[in-house]
Amino acid sequence: MENASRLLRPLLDGSPRALARAITWMENGHPEARALMASVWPHLGRAVVIGLTGSPGSGKSTLTDQLARALRAEGRRVGILAVDPTSPFSGGAILGDRIRMGRIAADPGIFIRSMATRGSLGGLAQATADVILALDAAGFQRILIGVARDFAESQPRRVRHHSVEASRDESWPEAV
């Protein structure tokens, strides 16, 4: 069995494989997940977290794709969490926003992870907070979180996106 001390250095070095493993540990409640998260605390505080919310089909994935491209053009590393409802069949994310962001998925400065809510209320997966910390520890300067519901109290900055047909209200409070 792998342990937290062996995963820590590759995670801090920004290894996508180590980051993916750490996220899987967090999502599945792996016994070493807590030890790993305790070890990353001294390496946190560099990332800006931006939440993108809106109704299904309003264009959050398209907005995320464009924002990630703009941030990469500035030389920033970007982590993307696409949090979707859980599929009753597979237990995984139902929408798989990563498919809609295929053009940026091959960029080594972008890490995309689809996460299922796994029954958590409020639109976020239970492991979301820890995953944000892991992305920060791995050196991602901007973390974009796309959810189909509002999570006003969860993150410091958010962008609420509405389709033109639904409303003219758009919030972009100096998010980036």
Burial of 146 (0-12, 13-18, 19+ CB in 10 A): buried
Q: Is residue 91 one of the residues assigned to a domain?
A: yes
pTM of the model: 0.77
Q: Is the pLDDT of residue 26 over 70?
A: yes
Q: Is residue 19 one of the residues assigned to a domain?
A: no
Q: Is residue 152 one of the residues assigned to a domain?
A: yes
Q: Is the pLDDT of residue 156 over 80?
A: no
Q: Is residue 32 one of the residues assigned to a domain?
A: no
Burial of 150 (0-12, 13-18, 19+ CB in 10 A): middle
Q: Is residue 35 one of the residues assigned to a domain?
A: no
For residue 76, what are the domain limits? 45-160
Give yes or no for a contact between 52 and 156, defined as CB atoms under 8 angstroms apart: no
C-alpha dihedral sign at 88, 92, 93, 94: negative
Q: Is residue 111 one of the residues assigned to a domain?
A: yes
Where is pLDDT greater, at 113 or 15?
A: 15
Instruction: Kindly state the percentage of the chain with pLDDT values over 70.
Output: 66
5-14 average pLDDT score: 95
Q: Is residue 7 one of the residues assigned to a domain?
A: no
Pick from 41-50, 84-93, 120-129 the range whose average pLDDT is largest: 41-50
C-alpha dihedral sign at 143, 146, 150, 154: negative
Q: For position 123, which CATH number holds?
A: 3.40.50.300
pLDDT band at 88 (very low <50, low <70, confident <90, very high): very low
User: Which pLDDT does position 27 carry in this prediction?
Assistant: 86
Q: Is residue 116 one of the residues assigned to a domain?
A: yes
84-97 average pLDDT score: 52
User: Which pLDDT does position 61 carry in this prediction?
Assistant: 82
Q: Is the pLDDT of residue 153 over 80?
A: no
User: Which pLDDT does position 141 carry in this prediction?
Assistant: 96
Give yes or no for a contact between 143 and 113, defined as CB atoms under 8 angstroms apart: no
Count of CB atoms situated within 10 Å of the CB of 16:
13
Q: Indicate the number of domains in the chain.
A: 1
Mean pLDDT of the chain: 77
Instruction: Kindly state the percentage of the chain with pLDDT values over 90.
Output: 40
